[in-house]
Amino acid sequence: ADGRIPETLIDRALRRVLTQKTALGLLDADWNPVPPALDGADLDDPDALRGSIDLDGPGNRKLARTLAEEAVVLLSNDGTLPLAGPRRIALLGPNADEPTAVLGCYSFPQHIGVHHPDSPVGIDLPTLRDTLAAEFPDTEFTTAHGTGIDDADLSGIPQAVRAARDADVAVVVLGDRAGLFGRGTSGEGCDAESLTLPGAQQHLLDALLDTGTPVVTVLLAGRPYALGRAATESAAIVQSFFPGEEGTHAIAGILAGRLNPSGRLPVSVPRTPGAQPTTYLGPRLAHANNVSNIDPTPAFPFGHGLTYTTFHWTDLTVDNHEAPTDGAFTLALTIRNTGTRPGTETVQLYLHDPVASVVQPVQRLIGYTRLDLDTGQARRLHVTVPADLASFTGRNGQRITEPGTLELRLATSSTQPRLTAHLTLTGPEHHPDHTRHLHAAFVVGQEPVARA
């Protein structure tokens, strides 16, 4: 009544903090805040500290490369990729030769290092120009800046256009500069009024498309951008969201074909600059294009991503088309690599509840798995779906699983279902424990299906 916080809440919060500190040993009599790697070092001597611990060792670099290789997304490809050793590549755009283009706003060089321009970055950050030159040692490269990230300078575009016309293929590297509070085009406090590419980058991209030379658009960005005509006219589009210190190795490997891309979009790529990027969630009208003069469908949906091989999904079987509201469904399907090289397929499982006492999103992602398959190889994939995954918060504020019909959509993206199972929940309403973490369980058959 007097505006003070009840003492019981303070006691509870303090107890939680002290309990965790005790569990971590922070209250032990012999606890030392100095990490073992710096034990005995002179903490006042920067040179001594710099040589005491390696934050960018081989293990970290290997992990960074694996993450980057699995995260880069191939959005489109007319067959230009992988590049088959072209004699002349025009490497264009503001991020083609920028070392920090792979880093986000909370990375040390972009967060702190920008305030100390005379200090070295401290880690190896090869540019895409460096890594592409290593992938194609016998190829002639021509580089041109074209324009800056956000300076709207058009003066360099004619040079980039000439370079593209004289090349077999043009690789244009666009996107963002990570920063904080207005010091970048993406990052904390760096919002965008429109999802047009920053500065004059779209002008550069359109001018390159007009040359007639195949244009491979590469994005090193912190957000998805609407690419205008380039979304359909680019020979290929490679999307990466600040892939980290090994990011350019991953991109170069995908462009060269040394790597088969396996990344999938964690957010949609909008069709128009004023659109809102989406995931798989949304009401029916959010996915309809007949209720407005503006088409809401994305250029590339959540979960989308191409590879250099093909996969065939067949033989969907459902063990039980009906299950109680506290039960589970089990199903299986076969996926075969029908292409000419090994690859990774990402199986996404979406749940559609057509009728509920509280209106539901059109679909929800309830599980996914990555499946590595050699050429011609197939495997049987088994899926268990607890009925509680269909639960939602009811009108009384409690979690509820209702009887009724459901659809389980096995898909390559949120808009591309391959196989659909029509199921029914039976029995009384069920109130699951909402604290349980549930997901669909995928099990890959131990014995491979015979090769084609």
Residue type at 368 in one-letter notation = Y
Centroid of chain to Cα 275: 19
Pick the CATH number of 66-287 from 3.30.1360.120, 3.50.50.60, 3.20.20.70, 3.40.50.1700: 3.40.50.1700
Q: What is the pLDDT of residue 368?
A: 95
Q: What is the pLDDT of residue 54?
A: 79
Look up the pTM and report it.
Answer: 0.89
> 435: pLDDT confidence band, cut at 50, 70 and 90?
low
Please report the DSSP string for 225-273 in residue order. -B-TTHHHHSSEEEEEE---TTHHHHHHHHHHTSS------SSPBPSST
> 58: pLDDT confidence band, cut at 50, 70 and 90?
very high
Determine what percent of the chain is predicted with pLDDT higher than 70.
94
Is residue 74 within 8 Å of residue 263, measured between CB atoms? Answer: yes
| pLDDT higher than 70, residue 172 | yes
Q: How many CA atoms lie within 13 A of 198 on its CB side?
A: 26
* Strand ranges of the sheet holding 378-386, from the earlier edge strand across to the other edge: 311-318, 328-337, 378-386, 441-444
Q: For residues 58 and 7, what is the distance between their CA atoms, to the nearest angstrom?
A: 51
Q: For residues 438 and 350, what is the distance between their CA atoms, to the nearest angstrom?
A: 14
Burial group, residue 294, by CB count within 10 angstroms (0-12, 13-18, 19+): exposed
Burial group, residue 172, by CB count within 10 angstroms (0-12, 13-18, 19+): buried
The helix, strand and coil proportions of the chain, stated in percent and rounded to the nearest 5, come to: 20, 25, 50
Average pLDDT over residues 145-168: 97
Q: What is the pLDDT of residue 243?
A: 97
In three-state secondary structure terms, 49 is helix
> 32: pLDDT confidence band, cut at 50, 70 and 90?
confident
Average pLDDT over residues 222-239: 97
> 8: pLDDT confidence band, cut at 50, 70 and 90?
confident
Least Cα distance to 196 among 231, 145, 171 occurs for 231
Q: For residues 295 and 289, what is the distance between their CA atoms, to the nearest angstrom?
A: 5
> 40: pLDDT confidence band, cut at 50, 70 and 90?
confident
Tell me the fold of 311-444: Immunoglobulin-like (2.60.40)
Average pLDDT over residues 230-236: 98
Contacts of 257 (CB under 8 A, 6+ apart): 81, 82, 83, 84, 308
Centroid of chain to Cα 259: 17
Q: For residues 177 and 223, what is the distance between their CA atoms, to the nearest angstrom?
A: 11
Q: Do the bridges between strand 215-221 and strand 169-175 make them parallel or antiparallel, or are there none, so unpaired? A: parallel
Average pLDDT over residues 337-353: 97
Q: What is the pLDDT of residue 450?
A: 55
> 432: pLDDT confidence band, cut at 50, 70 and 90?
confident
User: Residue 251 — φ and ψ, nearest 5°?
Assistant: -65, -45
In three-state secondary structure terms, 336 is strand
> 51: pLDDT confidence band, cut at 50, 70 and 90?
low
Q: For residues 152 and 161, what is the distance between their CA atoms, to the nearest angstrom?
A: 17
Q: Which residue in the block uniquely carries the two structure tokens 């509920």?
A: 356
> 424: pLDDT confidence band, cut at 50, 70 and 90?
very high
393's tokens: 């918060």
Q: How many CA atoms lie within 13 A of 96 on its CB side?
A: 25
Q: Do the bridges between strand 378-386 and strand 364-373 make them parallel or antiparallel, or are there none, so unpaired? A: unpaired
Q: For residues 1 and 11, what is the distance between their CA atoms, to the nearest angstrom?
A: 19
Q: For residues 93 and 170, what is the distance between their CA atoms, to the nearest angstrom?
A: 10
More confident residue, 45 or 66: 66
Q: Which residue in the block uniquely carries the two structure tokens 């030392």?
A: 32
Please report, for the chain, the start and end positions of each structural domain, with discontinuous segments joined by +. 66-287, 311-444
Q: For residues 82 and 205, what is the distance between their CA atoms, to the nearest angstrom?
A: 20
Q: For residues 199 and 176, what is the distance between their CA atoms, to the nearest angstrom?
A: 10
Q: What is the pLDDT of residue 72?
A: 98
* 179-185 contacts, C-beta under 8 A, 24 or more apart: 179/105, 179/110, 179/114, 180/105, 180/110, 180/111, 183/114, 184/105, 184/110, 185/149, 185/150, 185/222
Mean pLDDT, rounded, of the chain: 92
